[in-house]
Amino acid sequence: MIKKYLITTFRHLRRKRLFTALNIFGLAIGISVCWVIYRIVSYEYSYDKNLVQKEKIYRVVSGFVFDEKESYNGGASKPLYQGIREQMDGLEHVVPVFENTFRSVEVDNPPGSPLRFDDQKGVAAIDSAYFNFLEYRWLSGTKSSFLDNPNSVVLTEDRAKQYFPDQAPNEILDRTITYYSYRDTITRTVAGVVANLPQPTEFNSQEFVPLPYIAYDLNIWTNTNGSDRLYLQLDEASNPAIIAEQVDDIIQRKTREWRDQSENTFNFKRWIELLPLGESHFATHIRESNIRKASKPVLYGLMGIALFLLVLACINYINMSVAGIPQRTKEIGVRKTLGSNKKQLITQFFLETLVTTVLAGILSLVLTKLVFWLLKDIIPEGITPFANILEYIGFLLLLSILVAILAGLYPGWLITRVNAINVFRSTSLQTKGSKGFNLQKALIVFQFVIALVFITSALIIGKQLQYSIKSDMGFNKDAVVLVQVPYRYVFEDKYDGKQFPLLEELKTISGIQNVSLGAAPLSEGYASSAYEYSEEGKPAISRQVFKKWVDTSYVNLYNLKVLAGRNLHESDTPTEYVINETAVKAFGFASPQEALGKFIGQKDEKLPIVGVVNDFHMRDFYESIDPMAFQMEKSNLTNFNIKLTSNTDQWQNTLSEIEQKWYRFYPPESFSYTFYDESIEQMYKQERQLATLVNLATFVSIFISCLGLFGLAVLTAFQRTKEIGIRKVMGASVEGIVRLLSKEYIVLVIIALVFASPIAWFAMDKWLEKFAYRIQIEWWMFLLAGVAAITIALLTVGYQAIKAAIANPVKSLRTE
């Protein structure tokens, strides 16, 4: 019986090639996107999922209020772990993980010369608690040999392979590695190799060194560094809220103690929070560079996109099946008269749906790879399209059944309602309600609502991105190339001060219009301090001021306008400030002129203001412009700003000239340049990823919707052949018929626009809210989206409409 069903199903699908293809293609796209998103979401939620007692583990993070601005730091003061151990109960483990960075690492490699690795990350100082807390498998060496020797190091398997290629964990023991930091050099002996923890995990350190017990000074309690992480595993009975309170209490006590001792009046507030380990991966409000974060709203967005696209594909299937029923009434009628019951008809139909979905699943094997390639910038490393083929098959089966139910139920039900007698009446095969607003049309409207929301969002996100990157930032960034002296050379005596003779050399290159040393106006890194201004008889005004170290040609190079006073004068150490307009207002000066000659700065090191420049953006468009002070300090000038001449053809030559000069002062591997406008674009990585995602969603949703629309147009044109014939005989022109057939779809798109616009407006308004500088949402954006959708819809149905309109009416009106 099943075999019979299958054979008829395949024959049917083959006969309706076009619709089968449209259905399979639409579903395959939906399934592929769903699968890829499922892979991403399940990856992000699988962080440290194997950890026993994960729900008892918390991370200690610090919150701050500076200048009435709240911020979070993923670290805790170094001595805090000692305080907790000494003063608190109810904790299973107190685990400090203090990450260190090294300028370079040298691995002994007899008989050859040592292997050198620069800027190594993932070296953590830990104590005995760490290996009790996390269960590592020791491939060689022991925990005790590691802890007994203060100059030992334990490597993970991955790191061991990097340092000692082709050597077994046993052979590596007692080999030496030398770590060069900015301050000292330590040679360590390998005490063991451990297997990597199951991925993905937040505990991603690759090298472990013993954390010595240090009796910290009181002032260290006030330092918080994001790389000093602290984890707590609570006892069964402990209440996290109470533990958090107790930890906070320790910090507050120490802060008070320190305040009493020192004379610093700098006002800040700090508190401690316990972050559940499960939340740590999603804590995007804590900026960290060592740990990958995932944003929950983004994941929810992704899941929403997956769901919507799948629903779109299902809608296509429903629409095409429903629209196809009139053509199948004869088949159904014959089946019914020959004794088929409802159940058998529905089984037949479900089987069709299931076969279609399974075929779509097979096609999506290919499409998934395509989607992975399209989203390669967004998909986190470590996710492969098909890690486990069984999982894919399971996913596919589940989805097929879901789709079969979702997409097959309604048409299946309709099929059973076909009245056998009506089928054999030759007159009037037209479906009822082709004029009214039926389910098919409602579904098409729904599809276009989704497509339009995506189109509008893509438009607005694109516009905001362009605005963030292209709009006037208060300085001229055109043709500027940045070259950074690598951080590791800055403090090396050998290279001390080399940037100045290099600067002179660069000035001689003809392709360079201007060159300046100093931090780029808009950059990710920044430094700020609280500066004070005190007028006699009034309380001092204290403001957080961004410090920028620049030289004298900087203002000129970036086309900054000096509104009052003068540019900085050359000097080795700060002697004066040039501030921006915002700083003028922040300190309460009536005008830029008024600010000249006033002294601001940290206590006891106040300097005069000698000039005021226009406001310019120092950070991305999420942040408003803050008070800023230019100052000159030669030792802080490590970044070359090079303005090229406007002759773009020459740029390549100029760049290679710069490179040649560079090599006379710095080692070869140290040269790399970025065009400033490109590096500003890089700052909006997340937004560009969002744009990529929304663009893809837009494309896919339009594409799927159009597949459905196309199918429906084909069927409608078929159903209306008689009507079209009559109208033509009565004198309708081809244009008239095309208009008649297309009008309906345009009305549907317009209805969709009415629904989509407020949704898109609401979502985009929420998104834009986060930007301090943002575009206005304007009515023409919705109009443009609508026009785009209508154009696409017209192109889709136009061919069918024209084909139907130019057909010879004699054929369609022939009476059988």
Partner 1 sequence: MLLQLNNIFKWVNSGGQRIFLLKDINLEVEEGEFISIMGPSGSGKSTLLNVIGMLDAFDEGEYNFLEESVHDLKEKHRANLYKEYIGFVFQSYHLLDELTVQENLEMPLIYKKFKGSERKAMVADMLDRFSIVGKKDLFPAQLSGGQQQLVGIARALISNPKLILADEPTGNLNSKQGEEIMELFKQLNEEGVTIIQVTHSEKNAEYGSRIINLLDGRMI
Interface residues with partner 1 (CB under 8 A) are 426-428, 430, 434-435, 722-723, 725-727, 729-733, 736, 808-810, 813-815
Q: How far is the CB of 444 from partner 1 (least distance, A)?
A: 19
In this structure, the dihedral spanned by the alpha carbons of residues 380, 384, 387 and 393, taken in order and rounded to 10 degrees, is 100
Identify which of 660, 675, 5, 712 has the alpha carbon closest to the alpha carbon of residue 340: 5
Q: How far is the CB of 326 from partner 1 (least distance, A)?
A: 13
Q: How far is the CB of 717 from partner 1 (least distance, A)?
A: 16
CB nearer to partner 1: give 588 or 736. 736
Where residue 141 falls (left for φ over 0; alpha for ψ -120 to 50; beta otherwise) is left
Phi and psi dihedrals of 345, rounded to 5? -65, -45
Q: How far is the CB of 719 from partner 1 (least distance, A)?
A: 11
CB nearer to partner 1: give 198 or 736. 736
CB nearer to partner 1: give 729 or 772. 729
d(CA 555, CA 613): 8
CB nearer to partner 1: give 83 or 725. 725
Q: How far is the CB of 806 from partner 1 (least distance, A)?
A: 9
Q: How far is CA 382 from CA 201, 204, 663, 696, in A?
A: 11, 13, 37, 22
CB nearer to partner 1: give 15 or 435. 435
d(CA 577, CA 567): 9
d(CA 305, CA 298): 10
**Strand, helix or coil for residue 627:** coil
CB nearer to partner 1: give 113 or 808. 808
Q: How far is the CB of 815 from partner 1 (least distance, A)?
A: 5
The CA radius of gyration of the chain, in Å to the nearest whole number, is: 34
CB nearer to partner 1: give 289 or 428. 428
CB nearer to partner 1: give 155 or 737. 737
CB nearer to partner 1: give 732 or 751. 732
d(CA 519, CA 517): 7
Q: How far is the CB of 342 from partner 1 (least distance, A)?
A: 28
323 close to 315: Cβ distance less than 8 angstroms: no
Q: How far is the CB of 432 from partner 1 (least distance, A)?
A: 9
Q: How far is the CB of 379 from partner 1 (least distance, A)?
A: 51
Q: How far is the CB of 745 from partner 1 (least distance, A)?
A: 18
Alpha helix segments (H runs only) across 417-470: 420-424, 439-470
CB nearer to partner 1: give 111 or 731. 731
CB nearer to partner 1: give 435 or 494. 435
- Cis amide prior to 758 (ω within 30 degrees): no
Q: How many CB atoms lie within 10 A of CB 51?
A: 21
Identify which of 614, 620, 622, 597 has the alpha carbon closest to the alpha carbon of residue 526: 620
Strands 104-107 and 115-118, sheet pairing: antiparallel
Q: How far is the CB of 429 from partner 1 (least distance, A)?
A: 10
97 close to 124: Cβ distance less than 8 angstroms: yes
Q: How far is the CB of 726 from partner 1 (least distance, A)?
A: 5
Phi and psi dihedrals of 641, rounded to 5? -110, 115
d(CA 485, CA 492): 11
d(CA 788, CA 459): 11
CB-count burial class (<10 Å; 0-12, 13-18, 19+) for 407:
buried
d(CA 133, CA 155): 17
Residue 228 is encoded by which pair of tokens?
């000093």
CB nearer to partner 1: give 150 or 736. 736
CB nearer to partner 1: give 384 or 808. 808
Q: How far is the CB of 440 from partner 1 (least distance, A)?
A: 16
d(CA 767, CA 298): 12
CB nearer to partner 1: give 384 or 815. 815
CB nearer to partner 1: give 501 or 736. 736
Residue 174 is encoded by which pair of tokens?
């007692």
Q: In whole angstroms, what separates CA 311 from the centre of its chain?
A: 25
Strands 104-107 and 527-533, sheet pairing: unpaired
Would you give the DSSP letter of residue 289? S
Q: How far is the CB of 813 from partner 1 (least distance, A)?
A: 6
**Strand, helix or coil for residue 271:** strand
d(CA 630, CA 612): 10
Q: How far is the CB of 30 from partner 1 (least distance, A)?
A: 34
Residue 744 is encoded by which pair of tokens?
């309906």
Q: How far is the CB of 428 from partner 1 (least distance, A)?
A: 6
CB nearer to partner 1: give 92 or 723. 723
Identify which of 408, 439, 450 has the alpha carbon closest to the alpha carbon of residue 33: 450
78 close to 220: Cβ distance less than 8 angstroms: yes
Q: How many CA atoms lie within 13 A of 755 on its CB side?
A: 15
**Strand, helix or coil for residue 379:** coil
Q: How far is the CB of 358 from partner 1 (least distance, A)?
A: 40
Residue 516 is encoded by which pair of tokens?
């300046």
Identify which of 637, 793, 783, 594 has the alpha carbon closest to the alpha carbon of residue 705: 793
d(CA 79, CA 214): 8
Q: How far is the CB of 790 from partner 1 (least distance, A)?
A: 25
81 close to 299: Cβ distance less than 8 angstroms: no
CB nearer to partner 1: give 428 or 776. 428
d(CA 268, CA 223): 12
- What interhelical angle do 17-44 and 2-15 show, nearest 10? 110
CB nearer to partner 1: give 677 or 723. 723
